[in-house]
């Protein structure tokens, strides 16, 4: 078991959590040798001589064999990781946007430089989805991976469902409680979840979909009336990220959509900042993983697990990716949806290929029916703030 000398980029909530755990647990045989931060004058809860504002103090130090990247700037992180690989340093990262945007390139670089690149914390915090896909389902024929992968939106939707709050009130509550950023766009518009399902899809099916190719609808259009409908039907609304493969054709449908979830389903019980992921398997049926998806210690837990794995030279095999790299995504198929709206016009009724139900009142309206997945790529439809588009399970 080799000793790990760590260079840490970023000393925010998660970085400080990792530092404290490693200080308290010398049996892990891992020490932080240097920490690179933006502002060297900011007071921090660690010895001052550990800190530097110069990345080369880590990258050019041959004694440092592991880089832990925990910064928010995806472009800067990309540069750091590429340079780390070139210096034969293993890398642990929690930056889901960076990984989703450069996934294949970084995997090829780590292979070329014979180092490990681990990123469990990038997807669901303490929920070990990537390791499970790698270790337990690597030879299984998976049908789908589906779940709640964003704690901010789940907190907001829980407030809207359980306390009858409007979207704006629920968002304010999330911000006051520290579960939503001042600018929550990446979370509430589904960008964060799209990056995560992009990463998961590669490990589940061996095929890479770009985050921008994921069919995505956030939660900002949802109204109190939509939740009333859900309650009448014995359901709730969750933002579900899902990739599902057609076993016969190999085509994958990859979406992030508000979804009606029956209250008797396990995923409906995942509330507030928690995450939950379902793995559908041809051999093992359905498995469920649950835990906190964000925060200092849940995220630090995943990062520490990756650090510990490096002591044994662990790396992602991604065997399915080696077997089949290309994929067909979101090209065919249909989805049953509910569309809620306040003001009706002719275009709304033309969206659906098949209308099953139509409800109109002076305050709120909805239609239910089948839509071709190609139409959900149309930004005039999917990004229309006046339409609540909610998928059925």
- For residues 373 and 377, give the distance between their C-alpha atoms in angstroms, rounded to a whole number: 7
pLDDT band at 326 (very low <50, low <70, confident <90, very high): low
The token pair that represents 196 in the structure block: 């995560």
Q: E strands of 73-214, at which residues?
A: 90-93, 117-118, 142-148
Mean pLDDT of the chain: 92
> pTM score, two decimals?
0.94
Per-residue pLDDT tens for 56-90? 999 999 999 999 999 989 999 999 999 999 999 99
Name, in order, each residue with C-beta under 8 angstroms of 119's C-beta and a sequence gap of 6 or more.
92, 93, 94, 95, 96, 99, 130, 199, 306
- For residues 292 and 126, give the distance between their C-alpha atoms in angstroms, rounded to a whole number: 6
Per-residue pLDDT tens for 238-250? 999 999 999 888 8
The token pair that represents 33 in the structure block: 């040798």
* Structural domains in the chain plus CATH codes: 4-119 (3.40.50.720), 132-297+326-392 (3.30.360.10)
State the Cα torsion 136-293-291-240 to the nearest 10°: -80
Structural contact between residues 281 and 241, judged by C-beta atoms closer than 8 angstroms: no
Q: How many CB atoms lie within 10 A of CB 216?
A: 22
- For residues 342 and 344, give the distance between their C-alpha atoms in angstroms, rounded to a whole number: 6
Check pLDDT > 60 for residue 127: yes
Catalytic residues: 196
One DSSP character per residue, 121-139 reads HHHHTT--HHHHHHHTSTT
Q: How many CB atoms lie within 10 A of CB 139?
A: 8
For the segment 353-370, the average pLDDT, to the nearest whole number, is 94
Structural contact between residues 241 and 196, judged by C-beta atoms closer than 8 angstroms: yes
Closest CA to 366 of 185, 195, 182, 233: 233
Closest CA to 134 of 114, 116, 148: 116
Least confident of 120-129, 152-161, 342-351: 342-351
- For residues 82 and 191, give the distance between their C-alpha atoms in angstroms, rounded to a whole number: 24
Cβ-based burial of 108 (10 A; exposed 0-12, middle 13-18, buried ≥19): exposed
């Amino acid at each position: 078991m080799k000793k790990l000398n760590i260079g840490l980029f970023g000393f925010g909530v998660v970085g400080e959590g990792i530092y404290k755990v490693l200080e308290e647990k010398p049996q892990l045989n891992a020490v932080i040798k240097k920490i690179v931060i933006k502002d060297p004058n900011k007071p921090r809860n660690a010895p001052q001589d550990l800190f530097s504002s110069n990345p080369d103090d880590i990258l050019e130090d041959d004694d440092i064999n592991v880089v832990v990247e925990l910064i928010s700037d995806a472009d800067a992180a990309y540069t750091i990781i590429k340079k780390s690989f070139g210096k034969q340093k293993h890398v642990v990262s929690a930056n889901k946007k960076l990984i989703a945007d450069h996934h294949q390139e970084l995997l090829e670089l780590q292979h070329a430089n014979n180092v490990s690149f681990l990123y469990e914390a990038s997807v669901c915090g303490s929920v070990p989805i990537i390791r499970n896909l790698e270790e337990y389902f690597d030879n299984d024929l998976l049908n789908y991976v589906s779940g709640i992968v964003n704690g901010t939106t789940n907190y907001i939707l829980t407030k809207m469902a359980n306390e009858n709050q409007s979207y704006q009130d629920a968002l304010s509550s999330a911000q006051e409680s520290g579960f939503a950023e001042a600018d929550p766009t990446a979370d509430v518009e589904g960008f964060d979840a799209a990056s995560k399902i992009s990463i998961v899809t590669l490990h589940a099916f061996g095929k890479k979909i770009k985050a921008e190719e994921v069919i995505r609808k956030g939660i900002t259009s949802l109204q109190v009336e939509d939740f009333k409908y859900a309650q009448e039907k014995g359901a709730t609304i969750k933002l579900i990220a899902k990739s599902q493969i057609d076993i016969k054709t190999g085509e994958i449908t990859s979406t992030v959509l508000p979804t009606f979830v029956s209250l008797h389903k396990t995923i409906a019980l995942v509330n507030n900042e928690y995450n939950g992921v379902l793995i559908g398997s041809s051999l093992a049926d359905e498995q469920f993983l649950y835990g906190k998806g964000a925060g200092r210690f849940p995220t630090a837990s995943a990062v520490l697990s990756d650090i510990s794995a490096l002591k044994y030279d662990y790396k992602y095999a991604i065997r399915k990716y080696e077997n089949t790299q290309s994929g067909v995504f979101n090209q065919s198929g249909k989805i049953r949806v509910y569309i809620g709206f306040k003001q009706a016009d002719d275009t709304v009724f033309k969206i659906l290929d098949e209308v099953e139900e139509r409800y109109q009142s002076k305050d709120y309206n909805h239609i239910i029916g089948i839509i071709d997945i190609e139409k959900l790529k149309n930004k005039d439809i999917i990004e229309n703030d006046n339409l609540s588009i909610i998928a059925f399970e």
